[in-house]
Homo-oligomer: A and B are copies of this chain.
Amino acid sequence: MIFHSDNETGVSPEILEAINAVGAGSAMPYGEDERSRELDRAYSDLFETEVRVYPVVTGTAANALALSTLVPPYGGIYCFDEAHIQVDEAGAPELYSGGAKLLPLPGEQGKLTASALESIFGSQRNDVHFVRPSALSLTQATELGTVYRPGEVAALSELARRHGLGVHMDGTRFANSVAFLDCSPADLTWRSGVDVLCFGATKNGAMAAEAVVFFDPSRADGFDYRRKRGGHLLSKGRFLAAQLLAYLEEDRWLRYARHSNAMARRIADIITQLRGVELTYLVEANLVFVEMETAIRRRLEERGYRLNFWPREEDRCLVRLVAPFNCQDADLEKLRSDLEACTGNDGY
């Protein structure tokens, strides 16, 4: 099951320990406890600017709540046409924004391009019969496992800003992006024009914790009301804060992501060496997309693999393999030998 989704992994020992450390004692409720109060400072340090941080339990809540601060109910949100907010959140952005419209665009390797966006803005309607484009949403790392460079983010944000749009970053795998680029979190976000970041932790070792990070505190006005009325203000907030603080301490967020990226890289190397399976996208984060015959996929499933896949023509399919933060060498070795067996590469 290990390569199916980074949602299936457990909690990292360090984060679990942090949860246990606040387990029994009493504390002020609703984010007024000591640990919750540390969040703004800890994340301001990380991002080298004064930020406001709001923890929630899911990426869907983080994205939808964050977008609702950028977009009026009559607004539109540009995003990649396979973006999580468009195809995997059951209309959460629509709920929280009061009915805004997602405006999906094609991408290259999962990334929106400045030239495509520019041409969209060129032909964009601005009459009241259409919605008013109000936000640009970028996923970092993308749903296809690729990573926007700081310059790409800056170019897209600059275009967005020029047309009056706010910029949202779905950073469910933000750690993997920073690990890949080896850049500063600031360069990849507010210095490149991002207004609000959903900083993911759940897929990278936390139990259930995502941080909505506002780089301009004035943008956060009213966000606490929005979170509360979504049912996302936890009474025992210290359990969320404990996860998000432990995640930052000792650079765990980066260390976990570096590990899963490296493991994904090794999976990609395995794929490259095998006939019958083929990489489809650049492997920059912890996702590996592999095209193969349906028969191969079936053989893998018979060996116990649970796989996310999308049908392709001629009885082929696209399979997504995910390297989790706690992926072990043994897991990789088993994957290699299973792949060899299922592709018929083991006979020589």
Question: Are the CB atoms of A89 and B24 closer together than 8 Å?
Answer: no
A56–B61 Cα gap in the complex (Å)?
13
Chain B contacts for A276, CB-based, 8 A:
none
Residue of B nearest to A207 (CB): B239
Does A128 make an interface contact (CB < 8 A)?
Answer: yes
Interface residues on A, range: 35 or more
Q: Is A120 an interface residue (CB 8 A)?
A: no
What are the interface flags for A5-21 relative to B under an 8 Å C-beta threshold, 1 for contact and 0 otherwise? 10111110100100110
Q: Mark out the residues of chain A between 286 and 302 whose CB falls within 8 Å of any chain B CB in the assembled complex.
A: none
**Stretch from A25-33, A175-183, A337-345 that touches the partner:** A25-33
- Distance between Cα atoms of A87 and B76 in the complex (Å): 12
Contact check: which of B7, B28, B123, B235 meets A235 at CB < 8 Å? B7
A28: chain B residues at CB < 8 Å are: 1, 8, 306
Q: Which residue from chain B places its CB closest to the CB of A224 in the assembled complex?
A: B128
Residues of B within 8 A of A88 (CB): 129-130
Q: A202-B236, A225-B132 are in contact. Are A74 and B91 (CB under 8 A)?
A: yes
Q: Is A41 positioned at the interface, with any CB of B under 8 Å from its CB?
A: no
CB pairs A–B below 8 angstroms (26 shown): A5-B29, A7-B30, A10-B25, A10-B26, A10-B236, A11-B236, A13-B24, A16-B20, A16-B23, A30-B128, A57-B208, A57-B231, A57-B232, A61-B232, A74-B229, A88-B129, A88-B130, A89-B129, A91-B100, A94-B94, A95-B229, A96-B231, A97-B99, A207-B236, A208-B234, A208-B239
